[in-house]
């Protein structure tokens, strides 16, 4: 997707709506044309009935335009119609059939346009979100994002496909109805149209209130979606800790809040529609009474009276709908505003003149300091070190020491301000390296790997579209997962379920290692990715990796000394600072934090505690 990245890209909701409507506008345009024809044919039928009552059944002289007078004469005149009234019935039926045909095309074009609009909204939102910075997802909850991309999209679709197209049809119908009524009797027309400004006025009054209420309800729905999403994806954790009652009560509490806002909104809408019913009844009563008085005074014929009542009834619902459009516009405006927030979020972009240099050189961190947005203290402070190309480096540190942050910065998942230091690969600042090239050449296995709801074969080969079965199996052998896969009844075709929930923690980590190895990147990062495997499997994987990684630069992050002790160099972090570095033997001799961790872990092994086996 090649969208420009600009915070001012969509300055108004109107701009965003027109952007989404690209490709759908022709269908909505045709829909409006057919709506106009439907309205026109609907206007003709009462006129024919009026002519039938006054001139065919009654004795009133027909007041017809010149072309219709000539057509009537060619048909044999009024007497011919009196002798064969079926002709008038056929004419009414023909007009009705044409109206029905136009109504079909109106709905068909409208539905086609609505689906094109919805598809474009979904495609554009999903494609845009994929290119947003990693940090953006930390600032916005996934549940709220999903709610915006589903509920708000549907709200906009309903407004455009139902209310907005209905608005066009309503305006056409009002213009035609008022014109036809004025052509018959201006007094009855005025009695009907005097209520239109009142209906529009009170609709505008409710417009602001409904919009505010809907925005609050939409926000609370996003919170509810977040709770549901977290519990459904983390159902095993909820069950494991017996938190079902707590989570159910938390969901119920938020559901009560959400329901309360919707009840308030429904009350507003109920009052709005009840008021509309009263005004509509008064409008109908005014037309009936005015027309009846004029009939008694012989200022209006019975046929014209029937036509005027028919036109007023046709006018009543569209005017009511006009009020509904105004209130629904509030909801659509809020939804567009929420989608505009996403679409205006700046995408990741390469620096001008970004390069694609070789990624086989030394990795150098120079005076790097970093703090996450909203964090009261820095995660890294003045960290400097060099990782020689082709060497294996281990990183040890406690929770929150900044180990993983170093790797996120190396992959440029977070921007490092120039004043906060520099990271280079082969002498090239990563800020000037094309992002796709940088990440294509860095393989990373996270401590909590994410597997898609696909087969093991698809998950391992997901990073390489051209990966052969032989390469997939080779990566699995190095990651010590091949034998486990072979024991499954479906082998590599075994589905792992959502987030890999059918696999143990160690099996997921080893699958993720195989997933990374198949890419054969020059830089490989293992972010505590052996924490869920037993010590024997850990040793077997490390030995296989040593012979398989070749000239690749390998970075091992771990709490386990045995995982790091064979590394060419070991870095020790504490509270975001680099406090020790050297080989295993050199660090033991320093009697610092590394030696303290070594003594604690080896003491546990000597006592027979060992490492936890994978579950």
Domain ranges of the chain: 13-343, 352-441+523-535+552-579, 449-520
Considering the domain delimited by 449-520, tell me its CATH architecture.
Answer: 3-Layer(aba) Sandwich (3.40)
Does 609 have pLDDT greater than 50?
no
- Helix ranges (H only) for 364-451 are 403-410, 435-440
Of residues 150 and 44, which shows the higher confidence score? 150
Relative orientation angle of helices 195-233 and 302-343, to the nearest 10 degrees: 40
Q: Would you list the DSSP string of 23-75? A: TTHHHHHHHHHHHHHHHHHHHHHHHHHHHIIIIIIS-PPP---HHHHHHHHHT
Rounded Cα distance between 359 and 376, Å, is 35
- What backbone torsions phi and psi does residue 354 show, to the nearest 5 degrees? -60, 145
Residue predicted with more confidence, 374 or 120: 120
Answer whether 352-441+523-535+552-579 and 449-520 agree in fold: yes
Higher pLDDT, 374 or 290: 290
- Candidates 7, 22, 20; CA nearest to 349 is 7
Kindly report, residue by residue over 159-184, the tens digit of the pLDDT: 888 877 777 777 777 787 788 788 77
pLDDT in tens, 414-463: 889 889 999 999 999 999 999 989 988 998 888 777 788 788 888 888 87
Give pLDDT tens digits for 202-240: 777 776 677 677 778 877 887 888 888 777 767 767 776
Q: Average pLDDT, stretch 126-136?
A: 90
Lowest mean pLDDT among 61-65, 480-484, 495-499: 61-65
Q: Quick one: how far is CA 464 from the chain centroid?
A: 27
* CA-wise closest residue to 151 among 160, 162, 143: 143
Output the pLDDT for position 20.
Answer: 94
Q: How many CA atoms lie within 13 A of 438 on its CB side?
A: 25
Query: Does 329 or 383 have the greater pLDDT score?
Result: 383
* Cα torsion through 167, 170, 172, 174, rounded to 10: -140
Q: How far apart are CA 237 and CA 436, in angstroms?
A: 35
Q: How would residue 406 be classed by pLDDT, with cut points 50, 70 and 90? A: very high
Domain 352-441+523-535+552-579 CATH (choose: 3.40.50.300, 1.10.8.60, 1.10.3720.10, 2.60.200.30): 3.40.50.300
Q: In angstroms, how far is the first alpha carbon of the chain from the final one? A: 41
Fold of 13-343: ABC transporter transmembrane region fold (1.20.1560)
C-beta atoms surrounding 77 within 10 Å: 12
**Do residues 498 and 453 touch, judged by C-beta distance below 8 A?**
yes
Please provide the DSSP assignment of 458-518 as one string. Answer: HHHGGG-TT--HHHHHHHHHHTT-HHHHHHSTTGGG-B--GGGTTS-HHHHHHHHHHHHHT
* 451 vs 501: CA distance, rounded Å: 9
Whole-number pLDDT of residue 144: 83
In whole angstroms, what is the distance from residue 542 CA to residue 570 CA?
16
Spatial contact of 514 and 461, defined as CB atoms under 8 Å apart: no
The average pLDDT across 538-564 equals 79
- Contact call for residues 120 and 126 (beta carbons, < 8 A): no
Overall average pLDDT of the 575-583 stretch: 92
Question: How do 553-557 and 392-397 pair as beta strands?
Answer: parallel
| Residue percentage of the chain with pLDDT more than 70 | 85
Residue length, the chain? 615
100 alpha-carbon distance from chain centroid: 37
Residue 333 confidence (pLDDT) above 80: yes
What's the pLDDT band for 2 if we cut at 50, 70, 90?
very low
Q: How far apart are CA 183 and CA 127, in angstroms?
A: 55
Is the Cα dihedral 363, 369, 375, 379 positive or negative? Answer: positive
66-90 pLDDT, tens digit per residue, is 455 555 556 555 666 666 667 767 7
Please give the model's pTM, rounded to 2 decimal places: 0.71
Written as six digits, the tokens of 219 are 């926000």
Largest Cα–Cα separation, the chain = 122
Q: Which residues of 469-498 are buried (b: 16+ CB within 10 A; e: fewer)?
A: eebbbbbbebbbbbebbeeeeeebebebee
CA 292 to CA 37: how far, in whole Å? 31
What pLDDT score does 55 carry?
60
What is the tens place of the pLDDT at every residue in 293-309? 888 888 888 877 787 88
């Amino acid at each position: 997707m090649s969208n420009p990245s600009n915070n001012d890209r969509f300055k108004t909701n109107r701009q965003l709506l027109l952007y989404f409507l690209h490709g759908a506008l022709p269908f909505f345009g045709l829909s409006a044309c057919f709506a106009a024809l439907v309205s026109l044919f609907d206007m003709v039928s009462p006129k024919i009935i009026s002519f039938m009552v006054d001139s065919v059944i009654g004795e009133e002289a027909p007041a017809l335009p010149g072309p219709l007078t000539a057509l009537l004469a060619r048909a044999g005149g009024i007497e011919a119609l009196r002798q064969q009234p079926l002709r008038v019935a056929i004419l009414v039926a023909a007009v009705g059939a044409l109206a029905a045909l136009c109504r079909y095309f109106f709905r068909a074009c409208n539905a086609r346009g609505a689906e094109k609009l919805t598809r474009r909204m979904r495609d554009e939102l999903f494609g845009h979100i994929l290119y947003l910075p990693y940090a953006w997802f930390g600032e916005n909850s996934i549940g709220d994002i999903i709610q915006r991309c589903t509920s708000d999209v549907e709200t906009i679709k309903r407004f455009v496909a139902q209310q907005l197209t209905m608005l066009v049809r309503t305006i056409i119908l009002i213009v035609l109805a008022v014109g036809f009524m004025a052509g018959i009797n201006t007094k009855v027309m005025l009695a009907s149209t005097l209520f239109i400004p009142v209906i529009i006025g009170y609709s505008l009054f409710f417009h602001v209130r409904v919009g505010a209420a809907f925005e609050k309800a939409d926000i609370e729905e996003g919170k509810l979606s977040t709770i549901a999403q977290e519990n459904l994806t983390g159902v095993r954790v909820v069950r494991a800790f017996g938190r079902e009652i707590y989570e159910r009560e938390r969901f119920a509490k938020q559901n009560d809040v959400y329901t309360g806002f919707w009840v308030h909104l429904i009350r507003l809408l109920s009052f709005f529609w009840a008021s509309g019913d009263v005004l509509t009844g008064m409008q109908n009563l005014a037309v009936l009474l005015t027309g009846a008085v004029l009939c008694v005074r012989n200022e209006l014929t019975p046929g014209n009276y029937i036509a005027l009542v028919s036109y007023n009834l046709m006018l009543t619902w569209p005017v009511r709908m006009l009020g509904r459009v105004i209130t629904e516009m509030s909801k659509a405006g809020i939804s567009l505003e929420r989608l505009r927030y996403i679409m205006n979020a700046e995408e990741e972009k390469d620096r001008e003149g970004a390069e694609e240099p070789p990624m086989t050189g030394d990795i150098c961190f120079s005076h790097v300091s970093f703090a996450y947005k909203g964090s009261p203290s820095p995660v890294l402070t003045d960290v400097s070190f060099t990782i020689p190309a082709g060497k294996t480096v281990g990183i040890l540190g406690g929770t929150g020491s900044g180990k993983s942050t170093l790797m996120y910065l190396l992959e440029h998942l977070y921007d490092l301000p120039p004043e906060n230091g520099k990271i280079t690969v082969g002498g090239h600042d990563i800020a000037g390296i094309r992002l796709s090239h940088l990440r294509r050449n860095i393989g990373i296995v996270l401590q909590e790997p994410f597997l898609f709801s696909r087969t093991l074969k698809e998950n391992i080969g997901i990073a390489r579209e051209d990966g052969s079965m032989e390469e997939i199996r080779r990566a699995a052998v190095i990651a010590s997962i091949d034998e486990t896969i072979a024991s499954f009844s479906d082998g590599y075709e075994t589905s792992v379920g959502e987030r890999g929930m059918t696999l143990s923690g160690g099996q997921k980590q080893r699958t993720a290692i195989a997933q990374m190895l198949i890419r054969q990147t020059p830089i490989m990062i293992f972010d505590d990715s052996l924490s869920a495997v037993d010590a024997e499997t850990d040793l077997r994987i490390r030995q296989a990796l040593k012979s398989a990684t070749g000239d690749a630069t390998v970075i091992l992050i771990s709490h386990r000394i045995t995982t790091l002790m064979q590394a060419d160099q070991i870095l020790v972090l504490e509270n975001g600072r680099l406090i020790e570095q050297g080989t295993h033997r050199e660090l033991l001799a320093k009697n610092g934090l590394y030696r303290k961790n070594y003594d604690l872990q080896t003491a546990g092994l000597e006592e027979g505690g060992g490492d936890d086996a994978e579950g």
